[in-house]
Amino acid sequence: MRFGSKVLFEDVATTFSAGRRYGLTGPNGAGKSTFMKLLTGEQPPQRGTVARPDKLGVLRQDQFAFDRFRVIDAVIMGNERLWSALQERELLYEKSELTDAEGMRLGELEGIVGDEDGYEAESNAAILLQGLDIPDALHHRTMAELQGGQKVRVLLAQALFGRPEALLLDEPTNHLDLDSIHWLREFLLRYEGTLIVISHDRHFLNGICTHIADIDYQTIITYTGGYDDMVLAKTQIRSRVEGENAQREKKIAQLQDFIARFSAGTRASQVTSRKKEVERLQTTELARSNIQRPYIRFTMNRPSGRVALQAKHVSKSFGDLRVIDGFDAIVNRGEKIVLVGRNGVGKTTMLKALLADAPSVAPAPGDIDAGVVKWGHEVSVGYFPQDHTGVIEKGFTAVEWLHRFDPDASRQDIHGLLGQMLFSGEEGLKPTEALSGGETARLLFCRIMLQKPNVLVFDEPTNHLDLESINALNVALQKYDGTVFLVTHDEDLMDEVGTRIWHFDGRTIEDFKGTYEDYAASLV
């Protein structure tokens, strides 16, 4: 498969075996989603063939395709054979009289419904929806009435419905909270068919995968184990080949020196044998890896005072719904607070309330109803919002937009910073309105690195990042000496960065001093 001059796959031959769970990995742009489309049949390969089972469960990416259907029906549509039989049966039942042929067809349809567990279809669909936190009250509403995140979870239930022989899931954990991710992980561990999943969640891949199919070097190489096992094996193989090449090149240099000195003399037979030896020793050509790793490093112009933030009686409501009710906290310099809880319980609302009158952030007094938030001495805030809409103004190039936040910085410094975040060469001159989701996220990181704040407020920073970028962010936050407020569903980030947990459960917020691992252990 190629797009213009860019080759994604060249003569790829690979098999995904029954009973195995494969993570499909590779950096953004490597061709993961394209390969998934080749597997589902949504897109034909330019050359070669794809063999697939009859019953495929596929996570659909079009959130609006099922808007006119009931939620429960959208799930049942995951089993196409059952759904079409149910539709045809319903049309026959609406007739006042049936011909003999229609009566026989009705019998055949009842057989199909029985074979496909159609009589339990609604209850089985309801179990999937409940596991993914879609309450019973929504099951008979239309898909159009649901929010974006809820639609994604219904489409995930659709893919899981009807015991497919193979499950193909592209970013299934997007828009899922931690409880839903845990439920999905347990479901997939019990699944007996072939699973192929694309995910940027390292913890999720390590938890479910028996194998990793890694897209790199214009091919797909399968490794045994989870994501961390693949990275280790891939690094070791690459290092071994590079080491062998270095040894060979040293030997070749010695032989060529001999050939150059004696080719015109009396030792012709020895020269010939040395030439054959050089041909035999030709180094293994190493294809260039398409993995690019950004370099993220957060520094501070100056540290804040010892107390970074004090919150007293902070409250926020939406109509009659009180989301935050009289919250109190003192946050000391250097603490890294992770806000956890199900979607919609108030994590983003809390960040916005704390930032309503924060230094170096545009004031938004409507984000807090009552209470006092006092930021500490010399505090400067770097904010990464969950919704990037409108954050980066149109009409600039990436370089121009970034330069506004430090007019004293040289163009060379700005280009260097963009290069760290994988804006290579002319990409820094890209118009801001043409940036992808991932590019927008990386440009926002550039701004924060340029501003050098002593408090970082990050709301779902990993949504548009690939695994390499998420790992780089993880390391950068661990090394950062300032104060951090972080909303994320990435369990590795929670575990490895957080030193304090705010757990949201309804209107109550539990304040736990310690790591996420310690917090999880305290609940057992």
d(CA 370, CA 355): 13
Q: Label residue 452 left, alpha or beta by phi (over 0 means left) and psi (-120 to 50 means alpha).
A: left
Work out whether strand 508-513 and strand 307-318 pair parallel, antiparallel, or are unpaired.
unpaired
Q: Considering the entire predicted model, what is its pTM? A: 0.77
Any idea what DSSP says for residue 100?
A: H
The region that residue 117 occupies, defined by phi over 0 for left and psi between -120 and 50 for alpha, beta otherwise, is: left
| Phi and psi at residue 471, to the nearest 5° | -65, -40
3-class secondary structure, 326: strand
pLDDT at 164: 92
What is residue 373's predicted lDDT score, i.e. its pLDDT? 96
| Model pLDDT, residue 284 | 55
Q: Sign of torsion, CA 136 138 139 140?
A: positive
**Domain 2-230 class, CATH top level:** alpha beta
Query: Using an 8 Å Cβ cutoff, are 438 and 463 in contact?
Result: no
Are 2-230 and 307-392+451-523 in the same CATH fold?
yes
Starting at the earlier edge strand, list the strands of the sheet with 370-375.
321-332, 307-318, 370-375
Pair of tokens at residue 95: 């007739």
What is the predicted pLDDT for the residue at 481? 97
pLDDT tens across the length of the chain (524 residues): 988 888 888 889 999 999 999 999 987 778 888 999 999 999 999 999 999 998 899 998 777 889 999 999 999 999 999 999 999 999 999 998 999 999 999 999 999 999 999 999 999 999 999 988 899 999 999 999 998 778 888 999 999 998 899 999 988 888 788 888 888 999 899 999 999 999 989 999 999 999 999 988 778 889 999 999 998 888 887 677 667 777 877 888 888 888 887 776 667 778 788 778 777 766 555 555 666 789 999 999 999 999 999 999 999 999 989 999 999 999 999 999 999 998 889 999 999 999 999 998 988 999 999 999 999 999 999 999 998 878 899 999 999 999 999 999 998 899 999 999 989 878 889 999 988 888 899 999 999 999 999 999 999 999 888 888 899 999 999 999 999 999 999 999 999 999 999 999 877 899 999 999 999 999 88
Q: Which fold has domain 307-392+451-523?
A: Rossmann fold (3.40.50)
Q: Write the DSSP symbol of residue 422.
A: T
Retrieve residue 313's tokens.
């009686």
Distance in angstroms (rounded) separating the CA atoms of residues 148 and 127:
21
Domain boundaries, the chain: 2-230, 307-392+451-523
Spell out the residues 6+ positions from residue 317 whose beta carbon is closer than 8 angstroms to its own.
Answer: 323, 369
Task: State how far the Cα of 483 lies from the Cα of 411, in Å rounded to an integer.
Answer: 29
Measured between alpha carbons, how far is residue 213 from residues 16, 35, 56, 118, 243 in Å? Answer: 9, 11, 19, 35, 25
- Looking at residue 290, its pLDDT comes to 63
The candidate with the shortest Cα–Cα distance to 3, out of 53, 51, 45, is: 45
DSSP-derived pairing of the beta strands 56-58 and 508-513: unpaired
